[in-house]
Amino acid sequence: MKNYNIAVVGATGLVGREMLKILKERNFPIDNLRLFATSRSAGKKINFLGENIIVEEVKEDSFENIDIALFSAGSSAAIETAPLVTKKGGVVIDNSSAFRMDKNIPLVVPEVNGSILTNKETIIANPNCSTIQMVVVLQPLLKKYGLKRLVISTYQAVSGAGKKAVDELLAQSRSFLNNEVIKKKNFNNQIAFNSIPQIDVFLENDYTKEEMKMVNETRKILNENKLAVTATCVRIPVIFGHAESVNVELNQKFDIEELKNELNNFKNIKVVDNPGEEIYPMQTDTEKTDKILVGRIRRDYSQKNSVNLWIAANNLRKGAALNTVQIAEYLIENNLIN
Amino acid sequence: MKNYNIAVVGATGLVGREMLKILKERNFPIDNLRLFATSRSAGKKINFLGENIIVEEVKEDSFENIDIALFSAGSSAAIETAPLVTKKGGVVIDNSSAFRMDKNIPLVVPEVNGSILTNKETIIANPNCSTIQMVVVLQPLLKKYGLKRLVISTYQAVSGAGKKAVDELLAQSRSFLNNEVIKKKNFNNQIAFNSIPQIDVFLENDYTKEEMKMVNETRKILNENKLAVTATCVRIPVIFGHAESVNVELNQKFDIEELKNELNNFKNIKVVDNPGEEIYPMQTDTEKTDKILVGRIRRDYSQKNSVNLWIAANNLRKGAALNTVQIAEYLIENNLIN
């Protein structure tokens, strides 16, 4: 079996570190591993399987002989750095929003649309965290019943905004409990013991960028360009795990038990749903699993062919780092990489 | 101006204490004030406008000469105690769910349907917290455009479950920050840094009682028996203030600016909505106001005649204690009480 030269760009961030953990856990076939970050972190050493790897700053010729570069360094770094990889013949799998809506770049959740990948890819985009966990759940429903309209409200963890945001929630919570002044830095507003109905910037249409990612990325990944989608994205004082309340209108009638089976039989979904025992998915459950958890599955009696779902998943793993690594694995398993 | 003999039943709970604050703030025309609670709290003294009032246990003849009894003592206490008030000629305004769906008992939010009240009332029901703040916002939209369907996801504060629940969130948060074991008592699951997609018990149809309250109480208050409503009710780690993401399908087309004006001109609503300045309602804002805050008002492009709203209000005040007092004020102002 062949091993590959891998680069991780943004290796010191929350998602970058999760990528390294996942590469280890899954025995990813690595020959040589190179780690990159901004000048601020360059020179740091990160231990990987017993070896201390020095974090480097990206240079013009950094990606010589790199087969796959996993990026989690934000949009502007991605736009700047991706060409340095591709001109050397490597494939970029990028976690930022820079390339996601580019018609020529595949936006991939392997178990949903991995089959669109070819051996000609140069850049592959990893979708937004809140979109990934939802499209996996929607895919078996699309295949079986067809999708008509989605009404989404999210309950998103602060870790989606990076390590600084996690530190800020913890610091604000501590200040609150000690009756001290609450300091704001990364969030415009207090996030401890509060909800903020804004993730990412506002767009012309009064939706946030996060909300429009859920609309546009969902359509692209599911290859359903006219799917009706509306979203409200909300940051809540949770550290890890995104949850979503999703109201789904299907194209045809369904049996609720059959629908639960369709979900449970799909790859990487776990149905956690027993109202009699008060069992349903929660964000705290997502720390222990790489599966996407779905529960509170119940017919929506307000409209025909409709169902309510509550979806929770690990935003740093399936929502980011894990899906990125799974795309790389898909390329390798399907001989789409040299 | 006449003064009234008032009883507060459940006077030592979170809502009961808020009722007393509100009676003071609003200079409610009180002649004699009597406070009641369970035997555990009986004998305590509560200061009201300089007078120390002793909390009493309810007895058969406790409500002699009481004009209005404000109840916040739970359903079983309400069922047991209400007849003791009414047989003495007093009016009960009850905050529990005991009487809400009784056809012969009005369920009232004064600015929405106060006009159904007559001078013959014996028991008046105060709606559920999450329903009250929503129906006030829906009422002007119903009048102007008609309502077709609501898809609701809530972000509810722990104070809705009483003082013990608040204490538990604070204690769990402290334990979490100190790396100590998190203890569960009132909540089945960890609530600190987590969401729990269950409020109240599960019913036969796999919805929770809280979710069906939003369906049934909304229809009753708005007098729209066929209104299509579906809800997902979620407890989040917030202390005060409920927030709600509400997708509203109207019966006819609308202009978004006109719709905002309709909302802003309605009693007790404040539109807080300026995406350009990143301004929207938050739960922390509800501590400082008795208004219902609505923002993130934007056309839902996924379906015609539809709009998304984000509603936040103080669950202990407008959601409970304030609305109860406002019902009493409505009775007095409209000469519906002797």
Dump pLDDT digits (tens) for B170-200. Answer: 999 999 999 999 999 999 999 999 999 999 9
Per residue in B100-158, pLDDT (tens digit) is 999 999 999 999 999 999 999 999 999 999 999 999 999 999 999 999 999 999 999 99
Give the angle subtended at the CA of A152 by the CAs of A149 and A156, to the nearest 5°. 155
Answer whether B306's CB lies under 8 Å from A247's CB: no
Nearest Cβ partner for A298 among B198, B207, B239: B207
Residue A261 has what pLDDT? 98
Confidence of residue B288 (pLDDT cuts 50, 70, 90): confident
Catalogue the long-range contacts made by A15-18 (C-beta closer than 8 Å, 24 or more residues apart): A15/A72, A15/A95, A15/A316, A15/A320, A15/A321, A16/A72, A16/A73, A16/A321, A17/A46, A18/A316, A18/A317, A18/A320, A18/A321, A18/A322
Predicted TM-score of the model (pTM): 0.97
Q: Give me the sign of the Cα torsion angle A212, A214, A219, A220.
A: positive
Residues in chain B within 8 Å Cβ distance of A297: 206
Active site residues of A: 129, 242
Choose the catalytic residue: B108, B129, B316, B327: B129
Residue B261 confidence (pLDDT) above 80: yes
Partner-chain contact B195 A150, CB within 8 Å: no
Confidence of residue B202 (pLDDT cuts 50, 70, 90): very high
Per residue in B245-255, pLDDT (tens digit) is 999 999 999 99
Q: Average the pLDDT over B276-302 and give the result.
A: 97
Confidence of residue B231 (pLDDT cuts 50, 70, 90): very high
Distance CA A6, CA A328 (A): 10
Residue A197 has what pLDDT? 98
- Averages of pLDDT over runs of 10 residues in chain A (338 residues) are 95 96 98 96 96 97 98 97 98 98 98 98 98 98 98 98 96 98 95 98 98 98 98 98 98 98 98 97 96 98 98 96 98 94
Residue A272 has what pLDDT? 98
Which residue in chain B has the smallest CA separation from A276? B202
Identity of the residue numbered A62:
S
DSSP single-letter state for residue B126: P
Per residue in B303-324, pLDDT (tens digit) is 999 999 999 999 999 999 999 9
Q: How far is B285 from chain A (nearest CA, A)?
A: 9
B129 catalytic? Reply is yes
- The contacts of residue B59 (CB under 8 Å, 6+ apart) are none
- The candidate with the shortest Cα–Cα distance to A281, out of A248, A241, A235, A239, is A241
Question: Which one of B232, B285, B287, B288 makes the best mutation probe of the A interface by having the most chain A beta carbons within 10 Å?
Answer: B232
Report the side by side order of strands in the sheet with B228-232. B228-232, B147-155, B242-250, B306-313, B292-299, B269-271
Distance CA B64, CA B87 (A): 9
Residue B235 has what pLDDT? 98
Q: How far is B278 from chain A (nearest CA, A)?
A: 8
Residues of chain B with pLDDT > 90, as a percent, come to: 99
Per residue in B60-113, pLDDT (tens digit) is 999 999 999 999 999 999 999 999 999 999 999 999 999 999 999 999 999 999
Answer whether A312's CB lies under 8 Å from A285's CB: yes
Which residue in chain A has the smallest CA separation from B294? A197
Q: How far is A114 from chain B (nearest CA, A)?
A: 27
Domains, chain A, ranges and CATH? 4-127+320-333 (3.40.50.720), 131-314 (3.30.360.10)
Identity of the residue numbered A69:
A
Provide the token pair at B172. Answer: 């769990």
Residue B338 has what pLDDT? 75
- The candidate with the shortest Cα–Cα distance to B214, out of B157, B158, B268, B153, is B153
